[in-house]
Homo-oligomer: A and B are copies of this chain.
Amino acid sequence: MNEKMLPPIAIELTKSPKARPPADKLGFGKYYTDHMFIMDYDTDRGWHEPRIVPYQPITLDPSAKVFHYGQTVFEGLKAYPTADGRILLFRPRKNAERLNRSNERLSMPTLDEEIVLEGLKQLVKIDRDWIPNEPGTSLYIRPFVIATESALGVAPSREYKFMIILSPVGMYYAGGMKPISIFVESKYVRAVEGGVGTAKTAGNYAASLKAQEEAARLGCDQVLWLDGVQRKYVEEVGSMNVFFRIGDKVVTPALNGSFLAGVTRDSVIQMLRHWEVPLEERAITIDEIVQAYREGRLTEIFGTGTAAVISPVGELCWHGERMKVGNGSAGELSARIYDTLTGIQTGKLEDPFDWTIAIDGAE
């Protein structure tokens, strides 16, 4: 229910639609649809000229601030087709809100969340025939803001571009729901309290690559990040939030100001509470995890995030030891969460949480 007058979104349709990629070649973030949303900001006019245009390169001065001082934030969410021909978005308001929290942390101008949502809906509607239909596929939506002012002084940019691009995607991990192996990182740190770890901003991802490379060299798929102060509390796995099933409980790190408050994380928490599965959101040390493993009480680990939804973890690599968790396929709870979440996302299952929004319908 939006009572405000939104500025009209100008629409210019492409004259040369691209060929659709084959569904089995989609991968993640390799193909982009025919159109994009764009809106400009400067300190005089604020955000202005929302428009949908043919997908096209952007042209910036080499001194544009995004290239030098990294003022950029982004979001990720997905649109899913339903069996009865509708298109569902999953909790897009949460992404619009977080985009603004990220903007604030990075000293960037906030956006009218209604325009973000309206731009996103109109764009998805225009490119709706790009949404793939095969199991595990979806249309990934990437809203992002970049600092575009041409100036080398270290200070917040006075000009920005907000854009939304769309990418038809397959499963995030080529191996599907096959459990991944994670390396417990004790050398590198992703973020620390007081830093930008809670913002979805480029620098956090750049900072994670080296650890990821070294983990891959040791045969691990992802990194389990520990806190940067005491190096003992578990924070995230790769760029996902993380959950541990220990005995009859599920434990996940409480939001502590150094990692991202994931939308999927929040959804999993609500779902577990709905199911009356005992859940603890609290600080959890790697030592507690290892001890639970030794006592045979660590039965499942899984990561949560928009790209992979649920990513079961089958192995922890810690101090040279490889600790197997589960039996080599997704754990019972991980699978149940995945099936329920994707069922709701694709409209196959009832949505008791009111999470989905149909593109054409009222909220």
The chain A residues found within 8 Å of chain B, CB to CB, are: 27-30, 32, 36, 55-63, 66-72, 74, 105-107, 140, 142, 144, 146, 150-156, 163, 165, 167, 187-196, 201-210, 212-213, 228-229, 231, 238-239
Query: Which B residues are in CB contact (< 8 Å) with A207?
Result: 195-196, 203
12 contacts between A and B (CB under 8 A): A28-B153, A30-B153, A32-B61, A57-B59, A62-B163, A66-B66, A70-B70, A188-B194, A201-B206, A202-B202, A202-B206, A228-B228
Assembly CA distance A353 to B124 (angstroms) = 62
Q: Identify the 9 closest CB pairs spanning chains A and B, nearest first.
A: A203-B203, A29-B152, A70-B202, A189-B194, A70-B206, A69-B205, A107-B209, A192-B192, A192-B228
Q: How far is the CA of A67 from the CA of B203 in the complex (A)?
A: 10
* A-side interface mostly: loop
CB pair A142 B152 closer than 8 Å: yes
Q: Which residues of B contact A106 (CB under 8 A)?
A: 206, 209-210
How many identical subunits does the complex contain?
Answer: 2
Is there contact, CB below 8 Å, between B188 and A72?
Answer: no
A154–B69 CB distance below 8 A: no
Is the Cβ of A140 less than 8 Å from the Cβ of B165? Answer: no
Give every chain B residue within 8 A of A152 (Cβ-Cβ).
28-30, 140, 142, 167
CB distance from A264 to the nearest CB of B (A): 16
Chain B neighbourhood of A209, CB < 8 A: 69, 71, 106-107, 154-156
- Once the chains are docked, how many angstroms separate the CA of A62 from the CA of B33? 12
Closest Cβ of chain B: how far from A319's Cβ, in Å? 17
